[in-house]
Each structure stands twice: as structure tokens, then as C-alpha cells.
């Protein structure tokens, strides 16, 4: 199981890293935000795997908060302000 957890952590980190390339590359703001969502999901997965492999149960709570706040970030990105002629 320990090997599997190590492999999972690295695979999730790789996934996060690929998402990072898209965040840096863009081209549009929407693409970057999308990639940020992927980084968030990969981060949630990585936290869950780390919570088992580092024996830190509390990291599950961190994963929950990260998942919830990723939704808040997406909402903040798409909210339209009144009276500014927002895009």
C-alpha cells in the first residue's frame, strides 16, 4: 500500500504540474481559471493521499476547505459587477 500511495502522490503531483503549464500558458483568462480548477482538484486528491501516507487525518479537513474555496474562486471569477459594463 505504501508504494501505491507514493506512486499516487507523484501521479497527482504530475497532474497538478500539467495543469500548471496550462495556467502559465493561457491563452485566455477562462483557460487559466479552468486550469486553476484542475490544480484545485489535483490538490484535493494530493491532500487526501498525503493524509494517509503522512498519517495526518487533519489534511482531510484541509482538502474539504480547498474544494469548497475552489468553487468560491470560480464564482469570484465569473461574477458580474453592476454598473461597470463588465465583460
Partner 1 sequence: MNTTALLVLDVLLVFSLLSLAAAALATRDARRSVILFMAFGLVLAVAWARLLAPDVALAEAAIGAGLSGALLLAAVREQPRRALSGDTKPIHSRNDAGLKVTLQWTVTLFCVALAAILAWALTQAFDSASKDALAQAVSANLAASGVSNPVTAVLLNFRAYDTLLELAVLLTAVLGIFALGPARSGYRSAGPVFDGLTRWLVPVLILAAGYLLWVGAHAPGGAFQAGATLAAAGVVLRLAGQRTIGLPQGHTLHIVIAAGVAMFLVVGLSLLVLGRPFLGYPPALAGGLILLIECAAMLAIAATLVLAFLGGRPQPPSVNPAGAKPGALSISMLRSRSREFPSDTDSHNAESCRGFNEEKNRC
Partner 2 sequence: MIDAMASLLIVSGLGFYLAGSIGLLRLPDLYSRLHALTKADNLGLGLLTAGLALHAQDLLIALKLVLIWLAVLAASAASAHLIAQHARRQETPS
By CB under 8 A, what part of segment 46-85 binds partner 1? 46-47, 50, 53-54, 56-59, 61-62, 64-66, 68-73, 75-84
CA atoms within 13 A on the CB side of 12: 18
Question: Cα(42)–Cα(21) distance, rounded to whole angstroms?
Answer: 14
CA atoms within 13 A on the CB side of 77: 16
**Which positions lie near partner 1, rule CB under 8 A?**
2-3, 5-7, 9-10, 13-14, 16-17, 20, 23-24, 26, 29, 32-33, 35-36, 39-40, 43, 46-47, 50, 53-54, 56-59, 61-62, 64-66, 68-73, 75-84, 86-87
Amino acid at each position: 500500500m505504501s508504494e501505491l500511495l507514493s506512486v499516487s502522490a507523484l501521479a497527482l503531483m504530475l497532474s497538478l504540474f500539467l495543469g500548471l503549464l496550462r495556467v502559465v500558458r493561457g491563452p485566455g483568462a477562462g483557460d487559466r481559471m479552468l486550469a486553476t480548477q484542475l490544480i484545485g482538484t489535483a490538490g484535493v486528491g494530493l491532500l487526501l493521499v498525503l493524509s494517509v501516507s503522512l498519517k495526518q487525518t487533519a489534511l482531510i479537513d484541509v482538502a474539504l476547505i480547498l474544494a469548497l474555496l475552489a468553487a468560491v474562486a470560480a464564482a469570484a471569477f465569473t461574477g458580474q459587477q453592476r454598473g461597470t459594463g463588465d465583460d
